[in-house]
Amino acid sequence: MHFSSAELSSHQECVASYKGEYTITYRMLCAFDYSGIDSCKGDSGTPLMRQSANGTGPWEVMGIGAYGQGCADPNYPAVFTKIDTYLNWISRTVDRN
């Protein structure tokens, strides 16, 4: 996958989509892509990005691709690790090295 637009889902919507098949924690983000282009096998680790400042500012990473169900299945959002919940750990790790 090179580029796609996605719509973030609420935590509750994401949990309901997976119906207990996977544990969806508050350290995760879920995004639906209704265009038919979505994360698939081999896409884990890809960034979920947004453009800050009302779509005119720089791009920032919100999440890192974790998993999904199938490829571009409209019933299942792609699941991403939420970056901001790990910023302290990332900073400490980078500072040590």
Ranges of each domain in the chain: 7-96
CATH fold group of domain 7-96: Thrombin, subunit H (2.40.10)
- Tens of pLDDT along the chain (97 residues) come to 566 778 899 999 999 999 888 899 999 999 988 776 666 766 788 899 988 777 788 999 999 999 888 777 888 899 999 999 999 999 999 999 7
Cα 52-6-10 angle, rounded to 5 deg: 85
pTM (two decimals): 0.83
Question: Do 48 and 62 contact (CB within 8 A), yes or no?
Answer: yes
* Separation between Cα atoms, residue 84 and residue 90, nearest integer Å: 10
